[in-house]
């Protein structure tokens, strides 16, 4: 059970902050994403506290949860944003983030996206290839601007995590190959519309062992020294995101302080501003996906199923990465049984939990799928004609609807028929 300060039982009832989840389901319906604002604020503060010893700038990676109210919560705390597309840039700006606090990543930025980011004046674009640098140089020239760029390096460090979310390995598409960098530095000098302001990396997501960060930072620092000897004065070293959270109480995440203990002494002597891009760390455990049990069924081989009204369309992580999410009854029962918690989608991969011990809840009762703040709503889809759920944010007793449930009309609104 993933009990926290934000999602906890009083008696048999699961709450978010000071509000009963049952009450929220009654008002807003299900499936429903419920986010604790206090959890967002506390995660940000704990991150800032851990790295307080280092001159740094934290850019929330909005891909984890780009709801405007979530973005605004962090923006109001002084946090910047890491965006990965023109769409995310638009969202960050709408969420109230100043352009000079936004950094623009992405292995395949289109010309229009590059132009958009230059026009609004982001802090930097993180380039991932020589061709991209040439494109940024050309577009900046056309716009009469100088583009601030960082080079994303591929440090060839294979961080242990799910293979789909390890990004710092030379087998992957990300970043500029380390062997190519000396040449890139040389060619950069000829690109008169670019200013090199940073060196960047991102080695993956949900990385438990700080040593992977250490290994990649060693490489980043070596390149930083090379950049100095080649006459550049880089102001930012960007370490990326990837800091872990606990999904399964049996596999607790490495505390953020363990990362800071290793990284702060390594990076401090560089005398630059270090950028961090945490996504998951700031949001994963701030939200649950609230879902109602539609049917209970069992079969002759002894399998039991809870069929619920949310599915892989609202949380694809178990299907895509075999990830574990706790599933908790919103009203506790003394009795438990082992069951699969499955959704209504026509795919066998549509499950939240398999062979899991769950409270013996009845049809019509609610389950909370835990840790749904990161990469849940943002990866939702309309597959099977599903309507994206509503989203609410809770702060103490205060409840705000921050995204309306989609309607049937919205499902067809872009079609020309
Ligand atoms: N910076 C860059 C350049 C990234 O690509 C990412 C995540 C982050 C920062 C934030 O990483 P975080 O701190 O959240 O680990 N959908 C997958 C995760 C994909 C992560 C993609 N990049 C999942 O559900 O596990």
3-state secondary structure labels for all residues of the chain: CCCCCCEEEECCEEEECCEEHHHHHHHHCCCEEEEEHHHHHHHHHHHHHHCCCCCEEEEEEHHHCCCHHHHHHHHHCCCEEEECCHHHHHHHHHCCCCHHHEEECCCCCCHHHHHHHHHHCCCEEEECCHHHHHHHHHHHHHHCCCEEEEEEEECCCCCCCCHHHECCCCCCCCCEEHHHHHHHHHHHCCCCCEEEEEEECCCECCCCCHHHHHHHHHHHHHHHHHHHHCCCCCCEEEEECCCCCCCCCCCCCCCHHHHHHHHHHHHHHHCCEEEECCCHHHHHHHEEEEEEEEEEEECCCCCEEEEECCCCCCCCHHHHHCCCCCEEECECCCCEEEEEEECCCCCCCCEEEEEEEEECCCCCCEEEECCCCCCCHHHCCCHHHCCCCEEEEEECCEEEEEECCCCHHHHHCCCCC
Atom index in ligand 1 nearest the CA of residue 277 equals 9
Band of pLDDT at residue 171, cut at 50, 70 and 90: confident
Q: What is the pLDDT of residue 179?
A: 87
Check whether 286 has a pLDDT greater than 90: yes
What mean pLDDT, rounded, does the chain reach? 96
What are the domain boundaries of the chain? 7-36+284-412, 105-278
How far apart CA 217 and CA 183 sit, in angstroms, is 21
C-alpha to C-alpha distance for 166 and 160, rounded to whole angstroms: 7
> Residue 170 CB: number of other CB atoms within 10 A?
14
Residue 204 CA, ligand 1 centroid: distance in Å: 7
Distance 64 CA to ligand 1 centre (A): 7
Indicate whether residue 375 lines ligand 1 (CB < 6 A): yes
Measured over the CA atoms of residue 178, residue 221, residue 238 and residue 192, the dihedral's sign is: negative
**What's the CA gap between 167 and 158, in Å, rounded?**
8
**Where does the pLDDT of residue 173 fall: very low under 50, low under 70, confident under 90, or very high at 90 and above?**
confident
Examine domains 7-36+284-412 and 105-278 and report if their fold is the same. no
CATH 3.30.460.80 fits 7-36+284-412, yes or no: no
292 lines ligand 1 (CB under 6 A): no
Report the distance separating Cα 255 and Cα 247, nearest Å: 13
pLDDT at position 355 over 90: yes
pTM strictly above 0.85: yes
Q: Place 30 in a pLDDT band, splitting at 50, 70 and 90.
A: very high
pLDDT for res 138? 98
Once rounded to an integer, what is the mean pLDDT over residues 384-390? 98
Is there an atom of ligand 1 within 6 Å of 343 CB? no
Confidence of residue 88 (pLDDT cuts 50, 70, 90): very high
Bridge partners of 401, per DSSP, are: 392
The atom of ligand 1 lying closest to the CA of 279 is 14
Does 155 score more than 80 pLDDT? yes
What percent of the chain has pLDDT above 90? 92
16 is catalytic: no
CA distances from 173 to 35, 150, 229, 276, 413 (A): 33, 17, 28, 21, 35
Residue 165 reports pLDDT greater than 90: no
Instruction: Indicate if ligand 1 lies below 6 Å from the C-beta of 128.
Output: no
Mutate to test the pocket of ligand 1, among 205, 239, 278, 287 (most ligand atoms within 8 A of CB): 205
- Structure confidence at residue 162 (pLDDT): 81
> For residues 225 and 82, what is the distance between their CA atoms, to the nearest angstrom?
25
Tens of pLDDT, residues 48-86:
999 999 999 999 999 999 999 999 999 999 999 999 999
Specify the range with the lowest mean pLDDT, choosing from 100-104, 111-115, 164-168, 281-285: 164-168
Q: What pLDDT score was predicted for residue 161?
A: 81
**Residue 291 and residue 364: Cα distance in Å, rounded?**
10
pLDDT reading at 170 higher than 90: no
Residue keyed to tokens 């029962």: 333
168 pocket-lining for ligand 1 (C-beta < 6 Å): no
Task: With beta carbons less than 8 A apart as the criterion, state whether 247 and 325 touch.
Answer: yes
Distance CA 125, CA 140 (A): 11
Distance 301 CA to ligand 1 centre (A): 39
Q: How far apart are CA 16 and CA 37, in angstroms?
A: 10
Residue of 59, 79, 346, 372 marked active site: 346
* In the block, residue with structure tokens 């982001």: 122
| Nearest ligand 1 atom, CA 284 | 14
The C-alpha atoms of residue 203 and residue 353 are separated, in whole angstroms, by 28
The alpha carbon of 186 and the centre of ligand 1 are apart by a number of angstroms equal to 31
In CATH, which of 3.40.50.12780, 3.20.20.10, 1.20.120.1200, 3.40.718.10 is domain 105-278? 3.20.20.10
CA distance linking residue 107 with residue 120, whole number of Å: 20
Pairing label, strands 80-83, 102-104: parallel
Handedness of CA 305, 308, 311, 314 (dihedral sign): negative
**Token representation of residue 134:** 């040439």
Query: 242 CB under 6 A from ligand 1?
Result: yes
Question: How many other β-carbons are positioned within 10 Å of the β-carbon of residue 265?
Answer: 11
CB 301, CB 307: distance < 8 Å: no
Encode pLDDT of 310-347 as tens digits. 999 999 999 999 999 999 999 999 999 999 999 999 99
Q: Which atom of ligand 1 is nearest to the CA of 105?
A: 3
Evaluate if residue 189 carries a pLDDT over 80: yes
Given pLDDT bands bounded at 50, 70 and 90, which one contains residue 2? confident
Spacing, Cα 43 to ligand 1 middle (Å): 17
In short, whether 152's Cβ falls inside 6 Å of ligand 1 is: no
- Please give the pLDDT value at position 15: 98
């Amino acid at each position: 059970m993933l009990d926290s300060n934000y999602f906890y039982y009083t008696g048999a009832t699961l709450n978010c902050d000071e509000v009963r989840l049952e009450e929220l389901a009654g008002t807003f319906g299900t499936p429903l994403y419920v986010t604790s604002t206090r959890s967002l604020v506390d995660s940000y503060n704990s991150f800032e506290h851990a790295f307080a010893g280092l001159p740094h700038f934290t850019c929330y990676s909005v891909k984890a949860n780009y709801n405007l109210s979530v973005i605004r919560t962090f923006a109001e705390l002084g946090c910047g944003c890491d965006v990965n597309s023109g769409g995310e840039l638009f969202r960050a700006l709408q969420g109230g983030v100043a352009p000079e606090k936004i950094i623009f990543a992405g292995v395949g930025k289109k010309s229009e996206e590059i132009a958009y980011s230059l026009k609004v004046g982001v802090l930097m674009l993180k380039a991932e290839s020589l061709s991209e640098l040439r494109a940024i140089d050309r577009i900046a020239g056309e716009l009469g601007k100088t583009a601030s760029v960082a080079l994303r390096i591929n440090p060839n460090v294979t961080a242990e995590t799910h293979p789909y979310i390890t990004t710092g390995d030379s087998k992957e598409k990300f970043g500029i190959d380390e062997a190519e960098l000396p040449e890139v530095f040389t060619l950069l000098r000829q690109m008169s519309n670019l200013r090199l302001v940073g060196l960047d990396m991102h080695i993956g997501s949900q990385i438990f062992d700080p040593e992977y960060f250490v290994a990649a930072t060693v490489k980043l620092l070596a390149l930083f020294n090379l950049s100095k000897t080649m006459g550049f004065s880089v102001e930012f070293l960007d370490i990326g995101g990837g800091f872990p959270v606990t999904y399964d109480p049996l596999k607790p995440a490495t505390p953020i302080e363990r990362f800071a203990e290793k990284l702060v002494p390594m990076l401090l002597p560089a005398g630059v501003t270090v950028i961090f891009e945490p996504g998951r760390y700031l949001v994963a455990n701030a939200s649950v996906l609230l879902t109602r049990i539609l049917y209970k069924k069992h079969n002759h081989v002894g399998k039991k199923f809870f069929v619920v009204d949310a599915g892989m369309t609202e949380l694809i992580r178990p299907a895509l990465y075999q990830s574990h999410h706790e599933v908790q009854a919103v009203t506790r029962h003394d009795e438990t049984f082992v069951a699969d918690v499955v959704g209504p989608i026509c795919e066998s991969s549509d499950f939240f939990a398999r062979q899991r011990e769950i409270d013996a809840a009845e049809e019509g009762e609610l389950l909370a799928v835990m840790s749904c703040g990161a990469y849940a709503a943002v990866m939702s889809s309309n597959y099977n004609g599903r309507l994206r759920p509503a989203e609410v944010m809770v702060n103490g007793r205060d409840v705000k609807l921050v995204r309306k449930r989609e309607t049937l009309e919205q499902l067809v609104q872009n079609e020309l028929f």
